[in-house]
Chains A and B, each alone.
Chain A
């Protein structure tokens, strides 16, 4: 099976712009979670989608949003970018019948905000 894929792999934006990142889960996986990874904070949970519904959300401002499509692909959007949004954004997919399923990570999108 193909692994989790993310596009684009690298992005450079300026403050105030918005950005959309995409994640395609492993075939058959219905849950997609998003994480922000920074050197000082480790992996911080953004949100999880299951069957097109946001099932859980972390402590990030409303500028961070996401959605999931009927084929389980997911997008996350960050509006009004700030310098502090520079990070590696990882998505992870799981079968997610139960919430304690193993998660498999994508390669990440490296976002740089100038």
Chain B
């Protein structure tokens, strides 16, 4: 089955700096890659997603890039703010089910 690996597991940045989280996947059939943000005690919330026919997608301070050849995708957050502090999960969908990374705990230091 699919295997999604996510790095780093923890990340601390100064407010205003950029944060990058990377995920790799193993199944070339994966065609949909969402990113979720989960604040403490809350449900995961979709923040951005990308499909395999697109290489990059941007939404304000958040962007996702996808390299199908290398089977990896990344989340980029620019101009980080304290409210960006949360756990971020990547996921890959093979057409049958979602496989999630183990999460990155992002801390933005004011």
Contacts and interface: CB of A to CB of B under 8 A. Distances in A.
Interface string A28-71: 00000101000001111100100000001010000000000000
B97 A56 contact: yes
Interface residues of B, number: 23
Contacts of B97: 33, 45, 48, 56, 58, 99
B95 to A, nearest CB: 5
Q: Among the interface residues A35, A90, A105, A106, which one has the most CB atoms of the partner chain B within 10 A?
A: A105
Contact of A106 (B34, B43, B49): B43
Contacts of A108: 43
Interface string B6-48: 0000000000000000000000000110101000001111100
Interface stretch (B54-62, B66-74, B98-106): B98-106
Contacts of B102: 41-42
Contacts, number: 49
Given A99-B93, A100-B31, A105-B44, A45 B99 contact: yes
Interface residues of A, number: 21
A102 B49 contact: yes
B43 A43 contact: no
Contacts of B43: 4, 90, 105-108
B32 A100 contact: yes
Contacts of A104: 46
A103 interface: yes
Contacts of A45: 97-100
6 A-B pairs with the lowest CB-CB distances in the bound complex, closest first: A100-B32, A42-B102, A43-B100, A105-B43, A105-B44, A100-B93
Interface of A: 4, 33, 35, 41-45, 48, 56, 58, 90, 99-100, 102-108
